[in-house]
Amino acid sequence: MTYSNLRIFTVELIGTFILVIFATGSIVYDVKMFNGELGIPFAAVAPFIALLIGVYSFGKISLAHFNPAVTIGYYITGHISKIQIVYYFAAEIIGAILASIFVLTFIGDFADLGANAPNFDHSIFLIFPVEVLASAMLMGVIFYVVYTKGLKGFSGVAIGGIVGLDILFLATISGASMNPARALAPALLSETFENLWLYWTAPFVGTTIVAFLFRKKFQEQRISES
């Protein structure tokens, strides 16, 4: 079934809104209520739960991007058109900004509203590739489940799980955003722009590499199904 761009825009906005509330709100809530003691495990579980909700609720309509870097990956593999990129990007960025406004209003102004930050105890020559790797693994899992099963069964668990694992193991190096919209919204509202360049470059590099690796598979799949 084909859905209108307006419906895709709507569910992408809602899904991104939920994801960013969980991803950033968990950090802000942890700092506010527990002085950060729950730490990275709590910050990893929260987006896992959000993606379970988003993938199973909206995957059939929009493929549950909730992430501009993932949208570019889907464009490269031919899942969406050029004009649809505009709808997806607008929905993802607006949804993320609304989520950060929600976090600021209802949780509080702590921890730069959950803005991503790399660990500069490491070299940028490690930080950048790690963020590329985290984004590539996310895109790889998404394409694997879409190619093999579609967004059914354990797809939400797999996609949410890789995000959680990336955060758990890689956030202490690169911040493990994997998502330019998730990075942009809290940075805008907290005026912490110094690391934004990283999260508006590395995730696109990671998802683009994986998309080109999968593009031929999806083309062959379409031919065999036609």
Task: Give me the mean pLDDT over the 65-89 stretch.
Answer: 97
Residues whose CB falls within 8 Å of the CB of residue 43, separated by 6 or more in sequence, listed in order: 23, 26, 27, 30, 167, 171
pLDDT of residue 148: 78
Tens of pLDDT, residue by residue over 187-213, are: 999 999 999 999 999 999 999 999 999
- Give the confidence band of 225 by pLDDT, cuts at 50, 70, 90: confident
**Does the pTM exceed 0.75?**
yes
Tens of pLDDT, residue by residue over 18-28, are: 999 999 999 99
Tens of pLDDT, residue by residue over 50-70, are: 999 999 999 999 999 999 999
Enumerate domains of the chain plus CATH numbers. 5-225 (1.20.1080.10)
pLDDT of residue 43: 98
Closest to 17 in 3D by CA, of 71, 42, 53: 53
Tens of pLDDT, residue by residue over 144-161, are: 998 877 777 889 999 999
